[in-house]
Amino acid sequence: MGSPFLFSPYTVSSSLLNRHRSYLEKAERIDPNYCDVSYQFAHCHVQQGKYVEFEERLTKALLCPFTMGQAIPLWQNYWKQVTSDPRSGAEAKDRMDKYQAIINEAIEKDQQKEREEAMQQLKTRRKEYGGDEL
């Protein structure tokens, strides 16, 4: 697999990285829905060469509205590199497809929720204004 410097130009000392991770873990324990930490965890994992954990956290970072913008180019760069590896590219493609399916499912759920909310608003307006007149 590629080297971590492709994703972060800086290397972090082990003690600083461990401290950073402990803060992230604490934040996640306090609020499990605080999705911003996934992007930071992804950077920790890539620094440690834990690529499967990196991939999982990067996927979660893509689903977070606050880190999505930063995560998209990282996602594209990472998968472009690892899937083009002649030795392990096919395995990487399988993993990428698995994570892409998770993302697609989350998008579909979000779109369905938006459609349901729009229909509910329409029904409420119809009730307020009587019948089908808007």
List the chain domain ranges: 4-129
Per-residue pLDDT band for 2 (boundaries 50, 70, 90) equals very low
| 102-116 tens-digit pLDDT | 999 999 999 999 999
Would you state the CATH architecture of domain 4-129?
Answer: Alpha Horseshoe (1.25)
Q: How far apart are CA 23 and CA 32, in angstroms?
A: 13
Residue 9 gets which letter from DSSP? S
Among 93, 100, 81, 76, residue whose Cα is nearest residue 1: 81
Q: How far apart are CA 26 and CA 37, in angstroms?
A: 10
| 3-58 tens-digit pLDDT | 433 445 456 688 888 898 999 999 999 999 999 999 999 999 998 899 999 999 99
Average confidence (pLDDT) over 57-77: 96
Using alpha carbons only, give the angle 93, 94, 100 rounded to the nearest 5 degrees. Answer: 85
